[in-house]
Amino acid sequence: MEMILISLCLATLLAFLFLKRLFKRTTTTKLNPPPSPWRLPIIGNFHQLSLYPHRSFRSLSLRYGPVMLLHFGRVPVLVVSSAEVAQDIMKTHDRIFANRPITKAMEKVMKGGRDIVFAPYGEYWRNMKVFTFLNFFLITV
């Protein structure tokens, strides 16, 4: 009986290690995220916000610097608390931050983000914007 239990535990451990290696994500680039405070598994950093969130952000920025990564639930949020750093980020990486994240609900309801609100930044979005403004001005005139 004990031998069966030991072999079952060993087989489970080996299967877990094999499956962990099989399903492990491989990244081609090594990420270097900004500093972030510790977080809880489900709620992320919500426990570190108080009744006045702007004061909480200020105290966190004094500890972790002007750029920090917070997690609100499962969503990572980049918090920039310096005007100079924010201007530099928006000047050099503006196209990265111009898009909205695509969710499953948006894919189902909004047809994959093919409207003007959720469309990814690019040629299609610019054409939709021109088309919308032209229609708006033609209707109001």
93 and 119 in a single domain? The answer is no
64 and 114 in a single domain? The answer is no
38 and 53 in a single domain? The answer is yes
Percent of the chain with pLDDT over 70: 92
93 and 104 in a single domain? The answer is no
Burial 99-119 (b: 16+ CB within 10 A, else e): eeeeeeebeeeeeebeeeebb
Of the three residues 61, 79, 97, the one that is the final residue of a domain is 97
Q: Please compute the mean of the pLDDT values over residues 71-96 and round it to a whole number.
A: 89
Establish if 56 belongs to a structural domain: yes
119 and 83 in a single domain? The answer is no
87 and 137 in a single domain? The answer is no
Establish if 9 belongs to a structural domain: no
The pLDDT value given to residue 28: 58
The pLDDT value given to residue 84: 93
- Residue 22 — pLDDT band, cuts 50, 70, 90? low
50 and 90 in a single domain? The answer is yes
The pLDDT value given to residue 116: 77
The pLDDT value given to residue 122: 84
89 and 105 in a single domain? The answer is no
Q: What is the mean pLDDT of the chain?
A: 83
Number of domains in the chain: 2
Q: What is the domain range of residue 61? A: 33-97
Q: Please compute the mean of the pLDDT values over residues 93-97 and round it to a whole number.
A: 81
> Would you say residue 25 has pLDDT above 70?
no
Report field, pTM of the whole predicted structure over 0.85: no
State the amino acid at position 7 in one-letter form.
Answer: S
75 and 89 in a single domain? The answer is yes
88 and 116 in a single domain? The answer is no
Q: 112: alpha, beta or left, given left = phi > 0 and alpha = psi -120 to 50?
A: left
Report whether 48 contacts 60 (CB < 8 A).
yes
The pLDDT value given to residue 61: 93
136 and 121 in a single domain? The answer is yes
> Would you say residue 18 has pLDDT above 90?
no
> Would you say residue 63 has pLDDT above 90?
yes
Q: Please compute the mean of the pLDDT values over residues 9-29 and round it to a whole number.
A: 72
